[in-house]
């Protein structure tokens, strides 16, 4: 499922939360299908304010079949939904809990973003490792947007 098409056969070129909600059925975490878990929990996630009111949606691990974290960046918070084998965890951090943000440019094709929180936790986004080759350029653009969003806060 590295290339997505809508019901009319048109290639989907971005992965926003709405697109994720319409195309999660073939995704896996730790090589296990997560369709039933997402089906059961999607209404709860969709009711949380950040799922509808965010600036950037970043699906960390999409199409890797290993892990999947859904990150929602609002104007004031980072919200991470971690999809585990049998449950979801939601964590939220205010931007004032961020100690530093570092943008790393290894080459012209990929970007990494390291967000270090005051409690020592780190959120690392990597356009090369967080998806497959088909989607890495899209995640690269999302990383640039997240960096700019934080710089404005």
Could you tell me the pTM of the whole model? 0.88
Q: Is the pLDDT of residue 77 over 50?
A: yes
CA dist., res. 102 & res. 143, Å (int): 11
Residues found in the chain: 153
Give the model's confidence band at 149: pLDDT under 50 very low, under 70 low, under 90 confident, else very high. Answer: very high
Residues 1-38 have pLDDT tens digits of 444 444 444 444 578 898 888 878 888 888 888 889 99
Position 134 scores a pLDDT of 85
Q: Are 150 and 97 in contact (CB under 8 A)?
A: no
Fold of 17-152: PH-domain like (2.30.29)
Q: Are 4 and 11 in contact (CB under 8 A)?
A: yes
Q: Are 104 and 111 in contact (CB under 8 A)?
A: yes
Longest dimension (CA), the chain: 47
Closest CA to 131 of 52, 41, 70, 54: 70
Residues 86-123 have pLDDT tens digits of 889 999 999 999 999 999 999 999 999 999 999 999 99
User: Which residue carries 């004032």 as its tokens?
Assistant: 96
User: Which residue carries 């939601």 as its tokens?
Assistant: 90
- Joined together, the tokens standing for residue 11 give 């290639």
């Amino acid at each position: 499922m590295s290339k997505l098409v809508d019901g009319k056969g048109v290639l989907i070129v971005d992965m926003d939360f709405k697109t994720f909600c319409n195309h999660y059925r073939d995704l896996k975490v730790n090589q296990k299908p997560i369709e039933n878990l997402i089906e059961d929990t999607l209404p709860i996630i969709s009711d949380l304010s950040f799922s509808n009111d965010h600036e950037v949606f970043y699906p960390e691990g999409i199409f890797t079949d290993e892990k999947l974290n859904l990150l929602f960046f609002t104007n004031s918070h980072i919200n991470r939904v971690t999809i585990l084998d049998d449950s979801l965890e939601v964590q939220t951090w205010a931007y004032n809990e961020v100690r530093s943000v570092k943008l790393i440019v290894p080459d012209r094709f990929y970007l990494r973003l390291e967000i270090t929180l005051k409690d020592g936790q780190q959120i690392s986004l990597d356009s090369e490792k967080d998806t497959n080759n088909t989607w890495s350029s899209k995640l690269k653009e999302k990383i640039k947007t997240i960096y700019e969003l934080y710089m404005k806060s």
